[in-house]
Amino acid sequence: MARRTKKSRGTRRSAIDDRRRPPRSAATRLWLTRFGVTFGTLALTLWAGAWFFLSDADSKTANWIRQGVLGVTADMGFSVANILVEGRVNADREVLLAVLGVQKGDPLFALDPAAAKEQLERISWVKLAQVERRLPDTIYVGLQERRPLALWQKDKKLRLIDAEGQVLTEDNLKKFSDLIVVIGEEAPQKAPALLGLLTAEPEIARRVQSASWIGGRRWDMKFADGTLVQLPEEDVGLALRRLGQAHDEDGLLDRDIVSVDLRE
């Protein structure tokens, strides 16, 4: 009798388990059905839009279809809720948003990532840009900005430049006042080589206030204390090392001197 009672309990547990499974299965089927309908509608909508874009439909009709497609996708939840920008240091945020041309609430698929990338890379500060639509509601922008190298003086006006000679900005230069000023028509293109050599001679580099490209051949450097250093056309690195050694040995650069000619 005890065995039959134990078996009877097991049967009841099985019955309870069986009754609980259908609701879970039904919920799963309902979720899958909703997902399938949404996905199918989206796929059909995008297919219809693409067909019209690639067909011979006139521009007015194509634009009407496009707006309809974007409206449907936005209603499905594919609208801009977040604009994520990484890598921005100096580029103006408002300029970036204006170039993107999207606002929160706009259809996510209204943005053309390739076109946006091209437009962003026309901004002076932006060297490389990456633009992505991240479903369901985010636009991602990754930036690699150009790095300020020096201030270029031309026509008595300063411009911030990078290592490629690209002018970054002419405005709000106060925070870049510690950079060396380079002077001369070809100075932006020639400056990276000189400044690269100066990194090996920090004691000299910290004194340099400006550098002028002379006659399209060589540099004259002016220190903050007014000392003029005339560099040769060739072997500039060697000349700077000689100057650094002379200072290490007898404090040459701390003396009250007007100029140092390293051309010989």
Q: What digits encode the pLDDT tens for the residues 129-148? A: 999 999 999 999 999 999 99
Same domain, 31 and 85: no
- Pairing of the two strands 82-86 and 148-154: unpaired
**Whether 161 and 104 share a structural domain:** no
Q: Are residues 103 and 133 in the same domain?
A: yes
Do 256 and 170 share a structural domain? yes
**Whole domain around residue 170: which residue ranges?**
148-261
Whether residues 168 and 245 fall in one domain: yes
Structure tokens at 86: 């990484």
pTM score over 0.85: no
Tally of domains in the chain: 3
- Confidence (pLDDT) at 230: 98
- Which domain-ending residue is among 13, 46, 74? 74
Please indicate, yes or no, whether residues 65 and 109 belong to a single structural domain of this protein: no
pLDDT at 56: 52
pLDDT at 22: 42
Residues of the chain with pLDDT under 70: 1-77
Q: Are 85 and 177 found together in one domain?
A: no
> Does residue 132 share a domain with residue 166?
no
